[in-house]
């Protein structure tokens, strides 16, 4: 391969460092959400190894490899970050930290935040000290997000926030919220919105979990009753929050679209099918029709994975397709839903268990049910298709 001497040296150093510093326990496959490290003030580490792995990676800035060093990142180039990811995959290392701060708020702050905001928030995200949640949807503002009504009225040096958010992921476990609020009720609906950060422990904030069809409660309703927020916590200009929201949504969409695709340390679907169903003498899966369904799915999954790879390479070369995040979000989530349907079929009656002695007993059914939300959250599949029709195809009236 055409790796420069500098990159080859970086690869060698990285490999040696990971080998010496990634605890054995953190090289085991992630079997469920309980193995993921989310961080935050309320976080209880599942093991000594989980804490050690986070601390060691954060000290190098490698929880956020491409962020600048001044903000707690690793300052790596795209090529170096690719090598780090590849080397982590090689030893099946788990991500040291997963968070909305890394995936969503961080990129938005890097682009729109002022220096004080970056210095205050980014290092704490990088070290896993503060867990963030996203205050976007409201009971009356789902697909039509810009119809949101939560208000923030300036009173001296503070905004006074009143309203209600819904589908706030993990609001009950989050420390801070990045929130879309209406600061100018008189302006056209997209132009009166601002982007505000505040502590979830502020007086007047309450949350209540929503129980879902999966039996889990990853989402909350969040209520704001005269919450006072310093004026300095406004990101960007007042009334320009929609631009930040859209920018951030593209990151969210790419994240949701990429979920479960090419995840490390998971058995691929056909391996699970072979274990569950067995193969005939010819080496083919015993159930021919299910085999065909799995093949069709895996063809699309590979094609999607290669598309993710291609668009990254094209972006690096300064090329690219429009409305990319909508395409990835739409296709990736529909694929994941299909994957979960097939996994349920592969498991047969085994996959129907809801509760049992082992805490993982209900996982297949609950994961399947959870995945139904993929094509709803972060903009429905239909909204993504609308965006492609409008921005890329430029169809009339779209």
Partner 1 sequence: MALVLNDEQRMVKDSADGFFAEHAPVSQLRKLRDSKDPDGFDRGLWAKMAEMGFAGVAIPEQFGGAGLGMVAAGLIQEAIGRNLTISPFLSSAILSATAIARGGTEEQKAALLPKMASAELIVALAADEAARHQPNQVATKAEASGNGFKLTGAKPFVLDGHVADKLIVAARTSGADTDVAGITLFLVDPKAAGVSVKRRWMVDSRNAAEVTLDGVQVDGADMLGGLGEGFAILEAALDAGRACLAAEMLGVSAQSFDVTVDYLKQREQFGVKIGSFQALQHRAAHLFCEVELARSVTLKALTALDAGDERAPFFVALAKAKAGDVCKLATNEAVQMHGGIGMTDEYDIGFYMKRARAAAETFGDGAFHGDRLALMLNY
Residues labelled as active-site residues:
252
Confirm if 177 and 133 have CB atoms less than 8 A apart. yes
Q: Which of 8, 16, 213, 398 binds partner 1 (CB under 8 A)?
A: 398
Interface pattern 264-303 for partner 1 (x via CB under 8 A):
----x-xx-xx----x---xxx-----xx-xxx-xxx-xx
* Tokens matching residue 27: 């090289």
Q: How many CA atoms lie within 13 A of 357 on its CB side?
A: 0
Helix or strand run (H / E) with residue 279: none
Candidate residues 345, 353, 380, 386; the one interacting with partner 1 per rule CB under 8 A: 386
Task: Please spell the DSSP secondary structure of 297-313, one letter per residue.
Answer: HHHHHHHHHHHHHHHHH
- Applying CB under 8 A, among 309, 350, 355, 361 the residue interacting with partner 1 is 309
215-250 b/e (C-beta count within 10 Å ≥ 16 → b):
ebebbbbbbbeebebeeebbbbebbbbbbbbebbbb
DSSP 161: E
Using CB under 8 A as the binding rule, whether residue 388 contacts partner 1 is answered as yes
Residue 250: CB minimum distance to partner 1, A: 16
Q: Say how far apart CA 22 and CA 291 lie, in whole Å.
A: 38
Crossing angle for the helix pair 324-347 and 288-316, to the nearest 10 degrees: 160
Q: Does 319 bind partner 1 (CB under 8 A)?
A: yes
169 vs 386 by CB, closer to partner 1: 386
What's the CA gap between 341 and 318, in Å, rounded? 38
Q: Which is nearer to partner 1, 213 or 295 (CB)?
A: 295
Q: Please list the alpha-helical segments (H only) found in 65-193.
A: 78-90, 100, 106-112, 115-126
Separation CA 136–CA 29 (nearest Å):
33
According to CB under 8 A, which residues from 323 to 362 bind partner 1? 327, 330-331
Q: How far is the CB of 104 from partner 1 (least distance, A)?
A: 23
| Size of the residue set binding partner 1 (CB under 8 A) | 47
Shortest approach of partner 1 to residue 396 CB, angstroms? Answer: 4
Cα gap 374→328, rounded to integer Å: 12
Q: Does 313 bind partner 1 (CB under 8 A)?
A: yes
Select 60 or 337, whichever has its Cβ closest to partner 1: 337
| In the complex, minimum distance from the CB of residue 79 to partner 1, in angstroms, rounded to a whole number | 10
Nearer to partner 1, 212 or 392 (CB): 392
Q: Which residues bind partner 1 (CB under 8 A)?
A: 1, 268, 270-271, 273-274, 279, 283-285, 291-292, 294-296, 298-300, 302-304, 306-307, 309-310, 313-314, 316-317, 319, 321, 327, 330-331, 382, 384-386, 388-389, 392-398
């Amino acid at each position: 391969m055409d790796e420069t001497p500098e990159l080859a040296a970086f690869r060698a150093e990285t490999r040696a460092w990971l080998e010496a510093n990634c605890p054995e326990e953190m090289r085991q496959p992630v079997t469920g959400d309980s193995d993921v490290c989310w961080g935050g003030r309320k976080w209880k580490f599942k093991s000594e190894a989980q804490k050690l792995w986070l601390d060691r990676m954060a000290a190098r800035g490698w929880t956020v490899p491409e962020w600048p060093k001044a903000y707690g990142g690793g300052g790596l180039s795209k090529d170096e970050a690719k090598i780090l990811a590849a080397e982590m995959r090689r030893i099946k290392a788990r991500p040291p930290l997963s968070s909305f701060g890394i995936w969503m708020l961080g990129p938005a702050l890097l682009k729109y935040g002022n220096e004080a905001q970056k210095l205050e928030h980014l290092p704490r995200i990088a070290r896993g000290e503060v867990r963030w949640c996203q205050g976007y949807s409201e009971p009356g503002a789902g697909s039509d997000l810009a119809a949101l009504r939560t208000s923030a009225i300036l009173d001296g040096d503070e905004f006074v926030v009143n309203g209600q958010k819904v589908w706030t992921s993990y609001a009950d476990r989050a420390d801070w919220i990045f929130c879309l609020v209406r600061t100018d009720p008189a302006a056209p609906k997209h132009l009166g919105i601002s982007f505000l950060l505040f502590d979830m422990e502020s007086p007047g904030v309450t949350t209540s979990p929503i129980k879902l069809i999966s039996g889990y409660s990853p989402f909350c309703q969040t209520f704001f009753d005269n919450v006072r927020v310093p004026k300095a916590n406004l990101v960007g200009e007042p009334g320009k929050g929609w631009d930040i929201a859209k920018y951030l949504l593209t990151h969210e969409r790419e994240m949701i679209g990429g979920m479960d695709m090419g995840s490390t340390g998971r058995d691929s679907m056909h391996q699970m099918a072979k274990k569950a169903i067995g193969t005939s003498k010819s080496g083919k899966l015993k159930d021919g029709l299910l085999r065909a369904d799995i093949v069709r799915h895996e063809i699309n999954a590979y094609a999607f994975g290669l598309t993710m790879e291609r668009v990254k390479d094209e972006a690096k070369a300064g090329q690219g397709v429009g409305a990319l995040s909508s395409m990835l979000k739409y296709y990736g989530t529909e694929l994941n839903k299909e994957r979960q349907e097939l996994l349920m079929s592969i498991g047969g009656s085994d996959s129907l268990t809801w509760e049992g002695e082992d805490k993982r007993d209900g996982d297949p059914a609950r994961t399947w049910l959870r995945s139904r939300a993929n094509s709803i959250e972060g903009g429905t599949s239909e909204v993504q298709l609308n965006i492609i029709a409008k921005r890329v195809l430029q169809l009339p009236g779209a």
